[in-house]
Structure 1
Amino acid sequence: MLSRLRKYGSWFLAFFFALAAVLWIASGEFGGRNEPDARKEAAHLAARQQIPQVRVRTQTVQQHTQTLVVQARTKAEKKVTVAAETTGRVVELLVDKGDTVEKGELLARIDAQDKPARLAEARARLDQRRIELEAARQLSEKGYRAQNQLAEARAYYEEAMAAVSKADIALADTKVRAPFAGQVGDRMVEVGDYLTGGAPILRLIDLDPIEVVADVSERDVGMLHIGDSATAELITGERIEGRISYIASEADEDTRTFGVEMTAPNPDRRARDGVTASLRVAVRQAPAHLLAPSILTLTDQGMVGVKYLDEEDRVRFQEVNILSDTREGVWVTGLPDEVTLITVGQNFVNVGQEVEPVEESDVVNSLEGTPLDLPQDAPGKPGPEARP
């Protein structure tokens, strides 16, 4: 008996420890029934904590005025080269480069030479022909002079009148006057230069009003009309407003564009000729949304759009059409009249995913009075400019 106990004692000991382990596990499974519920609740809470938060803004559609913007340049309404109309030596120059002159103002004087004497001679002969014509008329009325002789006297008189007019014009041509009010540009002659008819003397530029000229594509020219309000932003910083005064009826054969001109008042002549500018014309109104460029999303298929939330707080994607890009933001169409846009976090959620929305206004209010508070017009703070 003792030998059998020694022989099988180790097996009994092992069986005893195994039975004890089974009973301990069973007591934990059936006796602690509240522990699985607690684990399930913790797992459910963890799942809820995995729903991502995104910042959103609800906005409604607005009426947007679409603006056509084209590259342009300023152009003086009148720009001529004042030339000599007679032959002679320049004896006087009364203006210099940059001077402002009025219409009819004397610019230069050319040597008259014998032109005053020729005018005096022509006037004396005219007086003689007038006397001869009067005598011929009186004799013709008394029957002492034939009608052909009266006609001859009248022809001599008219010839003398033409000679006086010609001599008067020749003398007047020695005085070079401004054909219109403007500003003197380059001056090509100096006192003492000998000129022939047609020789250039100086440039005269009329800057009031000023014209802004541009070439508009055949796709856009149909949106413009004579009289449309327009604005030109010059590269020098000036901003001038006017109206469309000319639209070409035919396209340029090389560029297939149409010439367009805007005319604007320029009383102080601050806008100069030949300055690069951007011409802006309001062409039409359309309902659209103003968005910050940062909330736009590009899909793998190359579509540009935005992510927004549906009624169940699930992410949706909508392709948009960009109307214009302005300093305030991007104007787009294709969205519902009222939409809840994802403004922060849109790149970290997928279409169809449930999210927890946080209103921008709540974020701003929570930061008021803290070191993170920003002025209303600070970049990055939500506001009328539609920045996220």
Structure 2
Amino acid sequence: MKIRYIIYTLLVLLVGYLLYNKFFGEGASKKEGAGGAKGSRKGGPVPVNVLLAHDTTLNTVIDITGTISANEQVNLVAQASGDVTGIYFNEGSRVKKGQLLVKIYNQDLQASLAQNNYNVTLARENENRNRQLFEKEAISKQEYQTSLASYNALKAQSDAINAQIKRTEVRAPFSGTIGLRNISPGGYISPQTPIATLVNIDPAKLTFSVPEKYLSLVKVGNKVKFTTESASKTYNATVYAIEPSVDVNSRTITVRARAANPDNELTAGSFAKISLALNQIPKTFMVPTQSVIPDIKTNYVFVVDSGMSVQREVKTGLRTDTQIEITEGLKNGDSVIVSGIIQLRQKAPVKVQKVVKK
């Protein structure tokens, strides 16, 4: 039994010796020395790729989404209450501005107008007769003015009845396509009763939002290309209006463009994929996004100068998905470092491995 304990003790000591020798012995020292030799090479030049700065023309095109809306759209309602005596349009048809669409019962008003017009005729004859008598000084001025006032009052009453009659007619406020009707002949309608929707979608309006950073480039007259889910062709539009304020929640500005739609291919409410071409910037520098290092108050890049990395403070402008515009701080021919940036420091030796192209 004691021999067994002795054997176990010897095995534990042997394992301990092997572990000590592995981590703290001569072999470990050699590995550490090799590692130290390898680490010493970190003091050498940092291999980098560079981009030669040169003037370029920036064509700013952004891809966004928008919504197609009608040029004009209105929900038709009556201005008077009563029974529908006539419907003069077909659902989904084209109508012209001023066309009679719906008529409401107005026979009582027509009768009142006829009676009043008869009184107007009599009052006009009476006024004419009294004017002649007044000119001959056969009646007083007061008598003539009384007959004139009576005549004018009856004319005004006829105008009021005519206005009421017009309110019993629903006419198209503009030319367009009328939708599905919600009334029937003989039904009773009021100003709260929806009749149908009238839409004019030629030209169509395209409404979309542009990020605030592009605000200076969005102008009236900018060209827009867009597609819809219902058609494979590309449509053209032109910006005609820009919202004067930025949305504080989305930090975007709303823009509206017009697109010709003579064949009614575009439908109000449709989703649109938009490609907006902004103004060109003729001479500028563009560098990869990763080469610009943001600081608390500014931005900077590293350039190669006499085999060393040198920090250069820059001012930035527009951004694309992969590049940033440099508006100040670079000149033609500067070698902008675009790789290995995390290992760089001021005046660190570098070795250019490759000159990359944009």
TM-score w.r.t. length of structure 2? 0.62
**One-letter identity of the residue aligned with 1:170:** Q
Shift of 1:57: 9.9
**Partner SS state of residue 158, structure 1:** helix
| Partner of residue 281, structure 2 | 285
Shift of 1:356: 7.8
**One-letter identity of the residue aligned with 1:87:** S
Question: Is residue 2:92 matched to residue 1:112?
Answer: no
**One-letter identity of the residue aligned with 2:206:** V
| Partner of residue 270, structure 1 | 265
The answer to whether the Cα contact below 8 Å between 2:92 and 2:178 also exists between their aligned partners in 1 is yes
1:141-180 equivalences in 2 (<5 Å):
141-180=135-174
1:234-383 equivalences in 2 (<5 Å):
234-236=227-229, 238-249=234-245, 252=247, 255=249, 257=251, 260-268=254-262, 269-277=264-272, 278=274, 280=276, 282-283=278-279, 285=281, 287-288=283-284, 323-325=318-320, 333=326, 337=332
| Partner of residue 177, structure 2 | 183
1:69-218 equivalences in 2 (<5 Å):
71-216=65-210
The answer to whether the Cα contact below 8 Å between 1:230 and 1:244 also exists between their aligned partners in 2 is no
Shift of 1:181: 1.5
The answer to whether the Cα contact below 8 Å between 1:93 and 1:109 also exists between their aligned partners in 2 is yes
Residues 153-193 of structure 1 deviation map (CA, whole Å, 9 limit, x = unaligned) = 11111122122222323333333211012222343322332
Classify 1:160/1:175 alpha carbon distance in 2 versus 1 (closer, same or farther; 3 Å): same
Query: Equivalents in 2 of 1:292, 1:221: separation in Å?
Result: 19
The answer to whether the Cα contact below 8 Å between 2:206 and 2:259 also exists between their aligned partners in 1 is no
Q: Which runs of 5+ in 2 are unaligned?
A: 1-47
Shift of 1:285: 1.3
The answer to whether the Cα contact below 8 Å between 1:322 and 1:330 also exists between their aligned partners in 2 is no
Shift of 1:110: 2.4
**Partner SS state of residue 98, structure 1:** coil
Residues 23-69 of structure 1 deviation map (CA, whole Å, 9 limit, x = unaligned) = xxxxxxxxxxxxxxxxxxxxxxxxxxxxxxx9999895321133466
**Partner SS state of residue 203, structure 2:** strand
Question: Is residue 2:229 matched to residue 1:227?
Answer: no
Query: Equivalents in 2 of 1:332, 1:280: separation in Å?
Result: 19
The answer to whether the Cα contact below 8 Å between 1:288 and 1:331 also exists between their aligned partners in 2 is no
- Quick check: which has more Rg, 1 or 2? 1
The answer to whether the Cα contact below 8 Å between 1:213 and 1:259 also exists between their aligned partners in 2 is no
Query: Equivalents in 1 of 2:306, 2:93: separation in Å?
Result: 71
**One-letter identity of the residue aligned with 1:280:** L
Percentage identity across paired residues of the two chains = 20
**Partner SS state of residue 187, structure 1:** coil
Q: Which runs of 5+ in 1 are unaligned?
A: 1-53, 361-381
Classify 1:148/1:185 alpha carbon distance in 2 versus 1 (closer, same or farther; 3 Å): same
Query: Equivalents in 2 of 1:338, 1:276: separation in Å?
Result: 46
Higher relative contact order (CA 8 A, sep 6+): 2
Query: Equivalents in 2 of 1:280, 1:184: separation in Å?
Result: 32
**One-letter identity of the residue aligned with 1:287:** K
The answer to whether the Cα contact below 8 Å between 2:130 and 2:147 also exists between their aligned partners in 1 is yes
| Partner of residue 372, structure 1 | none
Query: Equivalents in 2 of 1:118, 1:244: separation in Å?
Result: 50
Classify 1:181/1:123 alpha carbon distance in 2 versus 1 (closer, same or farther; 3 Å): same
Shift of 1:125: 1.6
Superposition RMSD on alpha carbons, in Å? 4.7
Q: What is the total number of aligned residue pairs between the two structures?
A: 300
The answer to whether the Cα contact below 8 Å between 1:61 and 1:338 also exists between their aligned partners in 2 is no
**Partner SS state of residue 241, structure 1:** strand
